[in-house]
Every structure is written in C-alpha cells, then in structure tokens.
C-alpha cells in the first residue's frame, strides 16, 4: 500500500506553492483548474501511487493555499508553464508526466509543447490540445457569444472577485453542480453567458441537493483551502482569465508547433467546453496538434469535472496511458 497524502510548500520561480504528494516512482504532476485546488485530484492520489507513481498536485499560483502575486501579468501562460518546469526540478526530477484539467489542461499542453525534454507525456481532461494559449482571443469570444460570455465578465477588476468570495461555500456548490453531468441543464451543454445587468451567480442557482460525487465535506475542503486569502480568495484564479488576450499575443511565436510527446485526452460529453464554437470539428482532428495522441476517451453523461465525476474511468485511462510510456530518461 502507498503512503498517505502529505502536504508542504516549495518555492518555484519566486512564488510559494502548496503541494500535496503521495507515492514513489516516476513523477506525475496533476494540475487543477478553476475554481479548484489540489483537492480536485483526491480520487487519483491513491490509485496512481498504488500503481507505482510519485503523484504531486500543486495549488497553482494564485489558488487556494499557494501564494498570490499582486501583478495581474504574473499569471500569463509563460509564467504558468515556467511553474510546471520549475516544480519538476524543485522536486529533484528531470522529467515528469503532466496531467491537467480545465485551466490546468492548457498549462499541461503548453508545457509539453514548449519543453518536451522535461514533459515526457501529457494528458488533458476537458480542454483538448490546442494553440499554446489553449483559448482564443477575447475579440473572437465577443463575436461568438457576446459581451455576457463568462470569460469577458471575468475581465472586470474586482467584480467577480467580490461576488465569488461573498460566500465561498455557496460559490463552490453552485459552480460545481452547474457544470456537472448531473445537472439537467447540461443535457445540451452550453457555455455560461450572463444577461446584461446580472452576475454569474444570478444565472447559477443553489442546487437542491448535491450530486452523488460531491459531498458537504468536499465543499468544506475547497472552502477551507481558499480561506487563507479572504476577500481576495478568487482574485488569483480570475487573474488567469485576465491574461487570455496577453497569452494570445505572447504565444504567437509558437503557433504551428505540434505537441511531440505521447498524449491522452479525456472528456465528458456533457461538458460545456465541448459546446464551444468549432469544437465538434476540432475534436475529430486532434492528431493535427498532438500526432502522438494515444487515445481520446469520451465519457457519456459526464460533465465538466471529469476526474471528480468519473474517478474510476479516469484512473483506469491514466494508469493505462502511464504504463504505455517509456521509462523516464529513455526515448
């Protein structure tokens, strides 16, 4: 049996990152998304550690128990991928497999694209491999969805910050249920578009009951992780969105490159990400970006929170993928 999950902090690129880790063996780094923490990987630690891997999940910069740089520009994609490479080296390793969900997926894909010498394999949940920024420009989003598109709403300094921090437990209940495959509204998935004059949470009601994969203890764990930063608990996470346009510009030089390491993609068919403009055609041609894609796993009835909603299927897919890779340091 593997050891229990242990917690500590490491300094990476001048930023203190909280990490959770378990197991011994080749390193696997798990990158969470918005608005989550290391805890979103709670179901992956034991199985991956028991399969012979050293599993490390950071709270990424600005999130949960990790440090929040004050400068908005400190959250651009080059800083975030630098954190991945820096973390791998701070852990005493030369290489790792990197797995990302939601915002963690673009960071994982970009890390593999830019540093194939360090990232020996990559898996993305929810968000498929794509351009280095993983997201289009804000201009494109406005044209497709209008000014109410949630990523545009998040650009307003202080607005969503205050809204989401007012009652963090309610925020987690609403957002996690809203994107879940258990929400009847995701039968036909669609992105969040906020009516003029409304707020995000105005459009996401409190669930009458939590889905089976999410417990009150889970909500408490996320809320506790975010407590350190008080009223600015969501500012760091929102600053990732406030770099979308900057990412689009900074990564222009990398467009046209392909991800040349073994890859895996896992997604739910009720995930709002798969409803984004052009995604249906894109999902049919993933190998144009990731030619060494080992598989694209579709989970029927699964929503956005892939590894939390369907841990057994995700764990099986990850363990199979990890087992298919060459040993670290070999090609």
Give catalytic residue positions. Answer: 102, 304
Residue with tokens 């696997």: 28
CA distance to 35, 248, 276, per residue, from 137 (Å)? 21, 6, 13
CB 247 within 8 A of CB 107: no
Decide: 80 and 49 in contact? Cβ < 8 Å.
Answer: no
Contact 77, 60 (CB under 8 A): no
Residues in the chain: 331
CA distance 169 to 278: 34
207 DSSP assignment: P
What's the CA gap between 135 and 130, in Å, rounded?
8
DSSP string, 166-216: SSHHHHHHHHHHHTSTTSGGGSS----BPPTT--TGGGSPPPSS--TT--H
Asked if residues 137 and 252 have their Cβ atoms less than 8 Å apart, the reply is no
Residue of 63, 60, 103 lying closest to 83 (CA atoms): 60
């Amino acid at each position: 049996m593997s050891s229990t999950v242990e917690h500590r902090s490491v300094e990476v690129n001048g930023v203190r990152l909280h990490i959770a880790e378990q197991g011994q063996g080749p390193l696997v780094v798990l990158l969470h998304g918005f608005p989550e923490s290391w805890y979103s990987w709670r179901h992956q630690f034991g199985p991956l550690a028991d399969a012979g891997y050293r599993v490390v999940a950071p709270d990424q910069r600005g999130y949960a128990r990790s440090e929040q740089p004050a400068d908005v520009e400190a959250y651009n994609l080059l800083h975030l991928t630098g954190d991945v490479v820096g973390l791998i080296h701070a852990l005493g390793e030369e290489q790792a497999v990197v797995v990302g969900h939601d915002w963690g997926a673009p960071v994982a894909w970009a890390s593999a694209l830019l540093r194939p010498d360090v990232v020996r394999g990559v898996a993305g949940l929810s968000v498929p491999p794509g351009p280095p920024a993983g997201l289009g420009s804000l201009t494109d989003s406005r044209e497709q969805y209008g000014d109410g598109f949630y990523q545009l709403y998040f650009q307003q300094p202080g607005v969503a910050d205050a809204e989401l921090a007012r009652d963090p437990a309610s925020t987690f209940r609403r957002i996690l249920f809203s994107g879940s495959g258990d929400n009847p509204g995701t039968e036909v998935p669609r992105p969040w578009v906020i009516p003029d004059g409304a707020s995000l949470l105005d459009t996401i009601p409190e669930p009458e009951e939590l889905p089976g994969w999410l417990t009150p203890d889970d909500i408490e764990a996320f809320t506790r992780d975010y407590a350190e930063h008080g009223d600015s608990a969501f500012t760091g996470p929102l600053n990732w969105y406030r770099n979308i346009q900057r990412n689009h510009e900074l990564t222009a030089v990398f467009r046209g490159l392909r991800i040349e390491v073994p890859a895996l993609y896992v997604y739910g068919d009720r995930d709002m990400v798969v409803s984004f403009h052009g995604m249906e055609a894109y999902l049919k041609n993933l190998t144009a970006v990731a030619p060494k894609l080992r598989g694209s796993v579709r989970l029927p009835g699964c929503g956005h929170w892939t590894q939390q909603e369907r841990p057994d299927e995700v764990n099986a897919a990850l363990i199979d993928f990890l087992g298919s890779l060459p040993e670290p340091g070999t090609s």
